[in-house]
């Protein structure tokens, strides 16, 4: 007991008494900078892993630009605060809320989603964000993924919306779709029918099947040459439409095969 008492008095003598300094319990600038660099390195590593990894039942990456909607009615006393919810198979995404967007919400949200095998459509629901009750479902639609998109083309279209007014009578929504594939390890995904299988160990230790079909020749897809988008055209269109996100403009350019005049006409229709 005496030894414990002595240790307690010694600890009390080492205690800091008086006003605390301004930097008490604060990180130094050097430590803070080091922590920021470490966090950024971890984030970049995670992003690279997310880009490189794709589940075996996923065929590629579907890019969905939810641009804006034109609704036929504003439900409620005040202007609605709409947001959109997108479903691709079991993946669910949401845009930000267009505050006071009313009948003409703008989101310009670009979604990068994995496209599972067998999924050939996506669904979009538009909700009015409410403060004191459950968010109200305003409109919805199901969009079939065009075959041209899966072949590498970019598709931009206004899709009709269903809702309280009836099927295809609630307005329309502007969506841009494009599709791409990642370079994947052979053990992860092989895009042709299964005729034989070999198993190799994966990083997780579980055997991963590698399917081969030697008798089926892989014919490379022939795609038409698309003109290169010039910086001058991109800068000109950005100056004409300063309120539209750059990524949306690029998507519309791709949908129009980098034709400047056609892109301007599409953007003018989007702003109507």
Q: Domain with 255 in it: what CATH number?
A: 1.10.8.10
Residues 166, 195, single domain; the answer is no
Residue 48 lies in a domain: no
Residue 151's alpha-carbon distances to 123, 155, 227, in angstroms, are 21, 11, 18
The total domain count for the chain is: 3
Residues 72, 129, single domain; the answer is yes
Residues 102, 197, single domain; the answer is no
Burial of 226 (0-12, 13-18, 19+ CB in 10 A): middle
Residues 176, 195, single domain; the answer is no
Instruction: Report which secondary-structure segment, H or E, holds 122.
Output: strand 121-128
Residue 53 lies in a domain: no
Residues 92, 161, single domain; the answer is yes
Residues 212, 258, single domain; the answer is no
Residue 120 lies in a domain: yes
Residues 262, 194, single domain; the answer is no
pTM value > 0.75: no
Residue 102 lies in a domain: yes
Contact 184, 55 (CB under 8 A): no
Distance (Å, whole) CA 119 – CA 117: 6
Residue 257 lies in a domain: yes
- What CATH number has the domain bearing residue 72? 2.60.40.150
Beta-strand relationship, 207-212 and 155-163 = unpaired
Residues 168, 189, single domain; the answer is no
What domain range is 240 assigned to?
Answer: 231-271
Residues 149, 245, single domain; the answer is no
Return all residues near 225 (Cβ < 8 A) that are at least 6 apart. Answer: none
Residues 144, 69, single domain; the answer is yes
Contact 164, 170 (CB under 8 A): yes
Residues 195, 86, single domain; the answer is no
Residue 44 lies in a domain: no
Residues 199, 172, single domain; the answer is no
Return the exposure string of 126-136: e unless at least 16 CB atoms fall within 10 Å of the residue's CB, then b.
Answer: bbbeeeeeeee
Radius of gyration of the chain measured on its C-alpha atoms: 27
Contact 83, 127 (CB under 8 A): yes
Phi-psi region of 118 (alpha: psi -120 to 50; beta: other; left: phi over 0): left
Beta-strand relationship, 196-201 and 91-94 = unpaired
Going residue by residue through the chain, which has 272 residues, state the pLDDT in tens, using 9 for 90 and above.
Answer: 666 656 666 665 655 566 666 665 555 565 665 666 666 665 555 555 544 455 678 899 999 999 999 999 999 889 999 999 999 999 999 999 999 999 999 999 999 999 999 999 999 999 999 988 899 999 999 999 999 999 999 999 999 999 999 999 999 999 999 998 753 333 333 333 333 333 334 333 334 343 333 333 444 444 456 678 888 888 888 888 888 888 888 888 887 888 888 888 887 777 66
Q: Tell me the sheet residues that pair with 197.
A: 211
Residue 45 lies in a domain: no
Residue 100 lies in a domain: yes
């Amino acid at each position: 007991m005496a030894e414990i008492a002595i240790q307690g008095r010694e600890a009390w003598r080492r205690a800091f008494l008086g006003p605390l300094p301004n930097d008490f319990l604060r990180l130094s600038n050097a430590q803070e900078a080091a922590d920021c660099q470490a966090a950024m390195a971890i984030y970049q590593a995670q992003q690279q892993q997310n880009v490189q990894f794709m589940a075996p039942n996923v065929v590629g990456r579907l890019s969905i630009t939810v641009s804006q909607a034109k609704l036929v009615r504003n439900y409620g006393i005040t202007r609605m605060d709409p947001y959109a919810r997108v479903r691709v198979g079991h993946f669910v995404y949401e845009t930000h809320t267009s505050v006071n967007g009313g009948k003409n919400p703008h989101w310009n949200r670009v979604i990068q989603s994995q496209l599972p095998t067998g999924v050939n459509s996506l669904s979009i629901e538009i909700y009015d964000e409410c403060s004191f009750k459950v968010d109200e479902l305003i409109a919805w639609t199901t969009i079939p993924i065009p075959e041209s998109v899966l072949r590498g083309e970019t598709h931009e279209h206004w899709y009709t919306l269903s809702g309280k007014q009836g099927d295809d009578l609630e307005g329309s929504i502007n969506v841009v779709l494009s599709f791409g594939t990642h370079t994947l390890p052979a053990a992860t995904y092989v895009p042709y029918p299964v005729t034989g299988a070999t198993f190799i160990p994966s990083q997780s230790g579980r055997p991963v099947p590698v399917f081969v079909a030697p008798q089926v020749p892989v014919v490379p897809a022939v795609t038409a040459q698309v003109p290169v988008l010039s910086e001058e055209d991109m800068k000109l269109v950005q100056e004409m439409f300063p309120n539209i996100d750059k990524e949306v403009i690029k998507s519309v350019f791709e949908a129009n095969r980098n034709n400047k005049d056609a892109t301007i006409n599409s953007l003018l229709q989007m702003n109507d």
